[in-house]
Amino acid sequence: MTSSFIIRVPATSANIGPGFDVVGLSLSLYLTLTVTIGETSTLPVITYSGEGADEVPLDPYRNLMTRVALYVLRCNGHRTFPPDLSIHCHNQIPFGRGLGSSGAAVIAGVLLGDSLGKLNLSRERMLDYALMVERHPDNVTAALVGGFVGSYLRELDPQATEAAQVPLSEVLPEYPSDAGEDWGLSPPVPPLGIGHYVRFKWNSSIKAVAIIPRFELSTAKARAVLARELLEERSVPLPSQVFNMQRLAVLTTALGQTPPDPELIFEAMKDRVHQPYRKTLIPGLPAVTSLITPASHPGLLGICLSGAGPTILALATHNFDSIAGKIQEIFQQEQITVDWKILEVAGGSTVDS
Ligand SMILES: Nc1ncnc2c1ncn2[C@@H]1O[C@H](COP(=O)(O)OP(=O)(O)OP(=O)(O)O)[C@@H](O)[C@H]1O
Ligand SMILES: N[C@@H](CCO)C(=O)O
């Protein structure tokens, strides 16, 4: 007899301007997994359709989502996947564009491990597992709980800090495909309560226009620019930090107010901590964030880089076509082709039978 269930995880946009590694917004593009148990095969069979189908590994020991599921299972006393498992993924979230595709895959993996192992993990515990893999909380938290979310990584005691910082290669090892079920060492179990979050109000008249360039930019590469410039030297100038904190404090309330105030939000979505350093990777970014304003395009509330880019996120209440058209025109001048979509703020991840 076969049984099946469906996991659905939304896309996310992190940062929203000044909230680097702090805020995330879930958006109405989805990674959907249809999981069936009872179709005879020894290894899980994975199939994909939609975004990334031509590049994603289908080997369950190489695929990010199933590797995360295996990590969760192994931390909870299950040596491997249950037999006779097949997973079909339909993916609407483009890879490496700043719309949280890896965060969605990580959350899908945690939910898959939880369901297959009948673990009944709480949302907080699920977040711990996700944070052992993707170590900035903004995308994974918004993908799990949905909405406009702020999060931080808790200060843990020294032992827990060490446990939460084990190399990623120990959390998600390269499983030798011929090693059967004997993979040696137990995986590092996450300490309790790595991250905390809160959901902010969101005015439902605000939509997110995602303008998506047709090139990929890996988060690792977009963070490496920052690492060189800032993170390793810990040299974010204090005035830039204050600039961002002032704006973030206002933004988290301003996006929930009725009616939304374009002047307040446009200024509150500016950033001096990450976007200036990423402009070398995204031609057109400075022009997009400076030439289009609520005065030139009524309905526009604010513009920022989505996550690590290259997608641009414009928040607006109306006039979506003309805002997207102008951003498309700026990218065209840089010989970059874009696609664009009007997205709603989504609910959190779901598992349904
Ligand atoms: N559904 C998926 N299944 C398996 N692997 C995935 C899936 N989605 C994304 N990935 C992996 O994650 C990589 C993209 O992650 P990356 O962090 O670079 O970008 P992103 O998450 O799309 O953008 P951002 O973090 O800026 O929002 C893909 O190249 C792929 O290896
Ligand atoms: N806060 C992260 C999000 C990546 O999706 C960054 O900007 O690098």
DSSP β-bridge partners for residue 212: 339
- Of 67-71, 120-124, 229-233, the poorest mean pLDDT is in 229-233
Crossing angle of helices 123-133/64-75, nearest 10°? 120
Confidence of residue 90 (pLDDT cuts 50, 70, 90): very high
Average pLDDT, the chain: 92
Say yes or no: CB of residue 109 within 6 Å of ligand 1. Answer: no
Give the pLDDT score at 87. Answer: 96
Give the pLDDT score at 106. Answer: 97
Q: What residue type is 86 in one-letter code?
A: S
Q: Give the three-state DSSP class for 68.
A: helix
- Work out the number of other CB atoms within 10 angstroms of the CB of residue 270: 18
Helix residue ranges per DSSP H, the chain: 64-75, 101-116, 123-133, 137-145, 158-164, 168-171, 219-226, 238-254, 262-268, 275-278, 285-291, 320-333
Give the pLDDT score at 158. Answer: 84
Q: What is the mean pLDDT of residues 109-122?
A: 97
User: What's the gap in Å between 3 CA and the centre of ligand 1?
Assistant: 29
Give the model confidence (pLDDT) of 125-182 as tens digits: 999 999 999 989 999 999 999 999 999 999 888 888 888 888 777 788 877 655 555 5
Pocket residue to mutate for ligand 1, from 55, 59, 63, 101, most atoms within 8 A of Cβ: 101
Rounded distance, CA 165 to CA 37, Å?
A: 34
Rounded distance, CA 105 to CA 148, Å?
A: 19
Give the pLDDT score at 166. Answer: 80
Rounded distance, CA 190 to CA 297, Å?
A: 47
- Of 183-192, 228-237, 275-284, 299-308, the poorest mean pLDDT is in 228-237
Q: Whose CA is nearest to atom 18 of ligand 1?
A: 218
Q: What is the ipTM of this complex?
A: 0.98
Say yes or no: CB of residue 218 within 6 Å of ligand 1. Answer: yes
The CB-side HSE value for 229 (13 A sphere, CA atoms) comes to 17
Confidence of residue 315 (pLDDT cuts 50, 70, 90): very high
Confidence of residue 221 (pLDDT cuts 50, 70, 90): confident
Rounded distance, CA 242 to CA 225, Å?
A: 21
Name the residue among 245, 194, 285 with its Cα closest to residue 23: 245
User: What's the gap in Å between 307 CA and the centre of ligand 2?
Assistant: 5
Give the pLDDT score at 330. Answer: 96
Percentage of the chain beyond pLDDT 70 is 94
Pocket residue to mutate for ligand 1, from 7, 95, 136, most atoms within 8 A of Cβ: 95
Give the model confidence (pLDDT) of 2-54 as tens digits: 889 999 999 999 999 999 999 999 999 999 999 999 866 677 899 999 999 99
Q: Whose CA is nearest to atom 25 of ligand 1?
A: 100
User: What's the gap in Å between 100 CA and the centre of ligand 1?
Assistant: 7
Say yes or no: CB of residue 217 within 6 Å of ligand 1. Answer: no
User: What's the gap in Å between 19 CA and the centre of ligand 2?
Assistant: 10
Rounded distance, CA 52 to CA 67, Å?
A: 17
DSSP β-bridge partners for residue 261: none
Rounded distance, CA 282 to CA 239, Å?
A: 24
Say yes or no: CB of residue 97 within 6 Å of ligand 1. Answer: yes
Which DSSP string do the residues of 9-48 spell out, in sequence order?
A: EEEEEEETTTEEEEEEEEEEEEEEEEEEE-S--SSPEEEE
Confidence of residue 224 (pLDDT cuts 50, 70, 90): confident
Give the pLDDT score at 233. Answer: 56
Give the pLDDT score at 229. Answer: 63
Name the residue among 106, 150, 94, 141 with its Cα closest to residue 310: 94
Pocket residue to mutate for ligand 2, from 12, 136, 141, most atoms within 8 A of Cβ: 136
Confidence of residue 216 (pLDDT cuts 50, 70, 90): confident
Give the pLDDT score at 162. Answer: 81
Give the pLDDT score at 181. Answer: 57
